Amino acid sequence: MANTSKVIALEARLKGCRNVTTLGVKPNFSDYSDEEANLIRNAGKIYYPTTFYADLFDAMGKKTFPSYHTYKCVQDKIKQTALFNLLTIPHPRTRVFYGKRQKKTITDHFQFPFIGKIPRGSAMGRGVYLIKDKNELEAYLKVTDVAYIQEYLPTDRDIRVVVIGKKIVHSYWRIASEGEFRSNVALGGIVSLDPVPAEALDLALHTAKNCQWNDVGIDICRYNKKFYVLEANMKYGKEGFRKAGIDYKELMETMIDNEEI
């Protein structure tokens, strides 16, 4: 039976949905009114609680959407890589280097060119560098305390698969603009609605299920006929939905009504 009552959300991602009451995010819980505080305390589940409140709600046994496990890996490439390796999910060869002594050994492990990323807090392709020589490596090391180095798999496109709840709700190709090695839409990448291979879809669903992520955009590339999970984006954009004519808010309203999330 479909749920027709309003659910409680903190972040604004569901703002405007007819079946959601969005309270906003207040870092001091005491700033919520008594009515708002009681709504939060009495709700069976809180939607989009933020990383801060997801920790607290998990401690008190309250369910959230996205899941607590999803929030633990938000914009943290180091944790994601470790989890992929633990779960034997195909992922480009990656190492993390701490401190000056470890960073001096980067070229012992990787040959130019390779990828360097800002490991925490970066999104939309920003903080990703194609490092072709020692000068570019030195420049990269000046902007990050921790070096996150990944093998370069040359390709002009990747796949974004969006998993919400327990199912894939959208998938599409992202094609890099000319002269750009990143395919992010925010950096000029083009959304293509050409069919996505079933193997990539299966890999995305397998990844989301085993990592216990239930609201995520999983980026996958194909190189030498093999698919690799590049990373997971919990704050994915909606341009791919718009391109496909999918009304994101209507989709979320329906999934809430049907208790799918």
Q: What is the CATH number of the domain that holds 218?
A: 3.30.470.20
**What's the domain count of the chain?**
3
* 100 in a structural domain: yes
Q: At residue 66, does pLDDT exceed 60?
A: yes
Both 184 and 140 in a single domain? no
What is the domain extent for residue 115?
93-151
- Report pLDDT digits (tens) over 47-64: 999 999 999 999 999 999
The CATH number of whichever domain residue 131 belongs to comes to: 3.30.1490.20
My answer on whether 210 and 173 are in the same domain is yes
The answer to the question of residue 84 being in a domain is: no
Q: Which residues contact 8 (CB under 8 A, 6 or more apart)?
A: 20, 21, 23, 39, 40, 43, 45, 46, 47
Question: Are 172 and 204 found together in one domain?
Answer: yes
In the chain, the percentage of residues whose pLDDT exceeds 90 is: 89
In a domain, 103, yes or no: yes
Whether 85 maps to a domain, the answer reads no
Per-residue confidence (pLDDT) for residue 1, from 0 to 100: 47
User: Is 248 within a domain?
Assistant: yes
Query: Does residue 196 lie in a domain region?
Result: yes
Domain shared by 168 and 225, yes or no: yes
Q: Is residue 167 part of a domain?
A: yes
The per-residue pLDDT for range 132-148, each reduced to its tens digit, is 999 999 999 999 999 99
Q: Are residues 169 and 214 in the same domain?
A: yes
Within a domain: residue 198? yes
Whether residues 116 and 193 fall in one domain: no
Residues 162 and 138 grouped into a single domain: no
